[in-house]
Amino acid sequence: MSLEKEIARRKTFGIISHPDAGKTTLTEKLLLFGGAIQTAGAVKSNKIKKAATSDFMEIEKQRGISVSTSVMAFNYKGLKINILDTPGHKDFAEDTYRTLTAVDSVIMVIDCVGGVETQTKKLMEVCRMRDTPVLTFINKLDLEGRDPFDLLDEIEEVLKIKVRPLSWPIGIGATFKGVYNLYNGSLNLFESNKTKITDDVITINDINSDELDNLVGKDAADKLREDVELIEGVYDAFDVNEYLAGKLTPVFFGSALNNFGVEELLNAFIEFAPTPKPRETSEGIVKPDDPKFSGFVFKIHANLDPKHRDRIAYLRIVSGKFERNKFYDHIRLGKKLKFANPTSFMAAEKEIIDEAFPGDVIGLYDTGSFKIGDTLTEGQKFMFKGIPSFSPEIFKELVNKDPMKTKQLEKGIQQLTDEGVAQLFTQKQLSNRKIVGTVGELQFEVIQYRLKHEYGASAEFVPKSYYKACWITTDNEEQLQDFIRRKAKYIAYDKDNNPVFLAESAWLLQSAQDDFPDLVFHTTSEFKHDIIKA
């Protein structure tokens, strides 16, 4: 199959939501409809031992939350679908932000009971920065939730994006009868606790026919007719180009737990969602159909299989064709690498592949060569943009509780911070004291747990009162050395040995900027136009 045809049959998207909106359950049901798994089981209850679910780390199973992005691929109606299921918890937002650089579109899950919540708003802002197309799934219609029209108004007002419902619920909670597909006139009747796919979708040629009354009852049918009339009067016809431009979100309703509305969502997704898109690099735009291979690392995961101590770099392919055992240029290191066992993913399950194409996310076994943001190419000299580390919000000193396991602790904290869930800063002038920075408290709990269970190292974290971590750049080396000398107790170095100023307050940061005008303080590691104004 030609490169163009391979690109045309690929759709790569992320799923985002506030915690507990049903994102991981929806992911599982998409896999069910796609035939990638045979039986649906609730992730938190862990009922189905044999089914692959997207939460595979032990701590995720215990806590019932996603703390790591997982990747799944399956074929559906002749297309190759790549799903990136992201953490919903705000403490793992940075992992989600980076994952959104690797997708071409997004499905946003909203709980009909809670509506638009804080984390959803933040993630939507990231999507808007890149004009990422967004499909919306309003979930849990089998529970007593809010009025669907009120939810649509809230999405428009809070998330600042136009909406267009393409399916509509018949009732809600105790009166929930099913979902009517506004796009093709089909009706999916509700049954609770449905765990397998059944062909019970009914096509209604005329919404005013008695057939609808017989199926859902006259009152529910009349209410649906009123709602549909209002929808057609209030909302413009669906414009796929507005969706692709990130200006309008088509909305679907359902209950992921009970499989309702999921198939409508999936079928619309494969029809509307974009194929792999171009990406910006340091040397201009790279298009998917450029014949030479290129891709970037957006995530690293150590110990995907704790028994084998493996380390996997997640690579999004942007252009050309990736081939097993072929040498590619690692741009940052300036050396050539080849990969004998590249893998595709089905959550924790992996299989070796011989080739992959734009839109695919593959796993590369890594012995420590990769960092987040690294670029691989077939000879071209550029780096992909837009995959920075951000200044952490919480800082704690790493304290070793078992001196006999110092080597294990060193290895563990290096590998875990390589994954990007936290950042490691070393204060060389203070006996190489290690400061770990994160955007949320839960990350420290996860790191401590994984250090203990994956590396056998015992550690605790002591809070430090820093305000920001700021990377420093300058053309005035003398001024930089003077600053480092004067602020020795607040200077640390990141993993690439770049100097970082750990400012204790906004006032002290502003003072440093005033006193050292030739130094530039950055809140991201990408060193672009992000100079802090304290």
**CA 362/CA 200 separation, integer angstroms:** 36
- Out of 16-30, 299-313, 365-379, pick the least confident: 299-313
The answer to whether residues 293 and 286 touch, using CB atoms and an 8 Å cutoff, is no
**CB-based contacts of 370, cutoff 8 Å, min separation 6:** 297, 300, 313, 330, 364, 418
Distance of CA 434 to the CA centre of its chain: 28
Q: What is the CA radius of gyration of the chain?
A: 25
Q: Is 431 exposed, middle or buried (0-12, 13-18, 19+ CB in 10 A)?
A: exposed
Percent of the chain residues topping a pLDDT of 70: 85
The answer to whether residues 46 and 338 touch, using CB atoms and an 8 Å cutoff, is no
**CB-based contacts of 492, cutoff 8 Å, min separation 6:** 425, 426, 427, 428, 435, 469, 499, 500, 502
**CB-based contacts of 375, cutoff 8 Å, min separation 6:** 281, 294, 295, 296, 297, 330, 331, 332, 382, 383, 384
**CB-based contacts of 533, cutoff 8 Å, min separation 6:** none
Q: Which one, of 452, 480, 29, 94, lies nearest residue 269 by Cα?
A: 29
Specify the higher pLDDT residue, 263 or 148: 148
DSSP state of 390: B
Distance of CA 156 to the CA centre of its chain: 22
Q: What is the pLDDT of residues 224-261, one digit of tens each?
A: 999 999 999 999 999 999 999 999 999 999 988 888 88
Q: What is the pLDDT of residues 126-180, one digit of tens each?
A: 788 789 999 999 999 989 999 999 999 999 999 999 999 999 999 888 888 888 8
The answer to whether residues 317 and 398 touch, using CB atoms and an 8 Å cutoff, is no
The DSSP annotation for 268-337 comes to HHHHHS-----EEETTEEE-TT-SS-EEEEEEEEE-SSTTTT-EEEEEEEEES-EETT--EEETTTTEEE
Residue entry with tokens 């590249």 = 342
Q: What is the pLDDT of residues 71-95, one digit of tens each?
A: 788 889 999 999 887 664 455 556 7
Q: For the whole model, what pTM was predicted?
A: 0.77
Q: What is the pLDDT of residues 439-483, one digit of tens each?
A: 778 789 889 988 998 899 999 999 999 999 999 999 999 999 999
- Token pair of 320, please? 């050309």
CATH numbers and ranges of domains, the chain = 11-272 (3.40.50.300), 279-377 (3.40.50.300), 394-522 (3.30.70.3280)
Percent of the chain residues topping a pLDDT of 90: 52
